[in-house]
């Protein structure tokens, strides 16, 4: 069960990080924009910053709650469908910065962490542990 706990806590920390990023876009839009990897002349209109902020705040809250409540199937659906968000974000940043990979690195890291968390939750979750224990009980070597 300790492998599952690692992935569960990784997912909770990732969700809380999204909550933080969302709050930053809502409260400090210019600073958050720079951290996102692009600079846009908004003329003082931060509407899109607020849209991104509430999107990240909501997504982070959902991910954190699903992980904390051990709602594994729902969490997997959210992680696997939500992985497209950092993929699109990365693509937009790469286009805006003419392929500057370092600027897109936070998005690349988000893609990798989301994939690791989803795979870990799927293959090291309670159901996987239970199946391994059942196989070991009947004398069949468990695959790890």
> What digits encode the pLDDT tens for the residues 53-99?
999 999 999 999 999 999 999 999 999 999 999 999 999 999 998 88
- Backbone torsions φ then ψ of 70, nearest 5 degrees: 55, 35
Contacts by 127-136, CB closer than 8 A, 24 or more apart: 127/72, 128/4, 129/1, 129/4
Is 23 or 124 the better-scoring residue by pLDDT? 23
pTM, entire model: 0.80
Is 58 or 44 the better-scoring residue by pLDDT? 58
- pLDDT of residue 31 exceeding 70: yes
Nearest to 52 by CA among 27, 77, 74: 27
Band (135; pLDDT cuts 50, 70, 90)? very low
Label each residue of 14-82 as H, E or C.
HHHHHHHHHHHHHHCHHHHHHHHCCCCCCCCCCHHHHHHHHHHHHHHHHHHHHHHCCCHHHHHHHHHHH
Band (14; pLDDT cuts 50, 70, 90)? very high
**Predicted pLDDT of residue 125:** 73
Mean confidence (pLDDT) of the chain? 87
């Amino acid at each position: 069960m300790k492998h599952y706990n690692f992935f569960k806590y990784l997912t909770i920390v990732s969700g809380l990080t999204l909550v933080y990023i969302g709050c930053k876009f809502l409260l400090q839009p210019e600073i958050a924009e720079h951290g996102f990897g692009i600079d846009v002349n908004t003329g003082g209109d931060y509407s899109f910053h607020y849209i991104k902020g509430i999107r990240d705040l909501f997504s982070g809250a959902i991910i954190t709650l699903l992980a904390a409540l051990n709602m594994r199937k729902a969490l997997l659906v959210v992680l696997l469908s939500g992985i497209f968000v950092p993929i699109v974000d990365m693509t937009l940043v790469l286009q805006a910065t003419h392929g500057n990979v370092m600027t897109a690195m936070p998005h690349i890291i988000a893609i990798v962490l989301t994939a690791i968390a989803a795979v870990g939750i799927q293959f090291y979750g309670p159901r996987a542990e239970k199946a391994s224990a059942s196989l070991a009980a009947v004398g069949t070597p468990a695959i790890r």
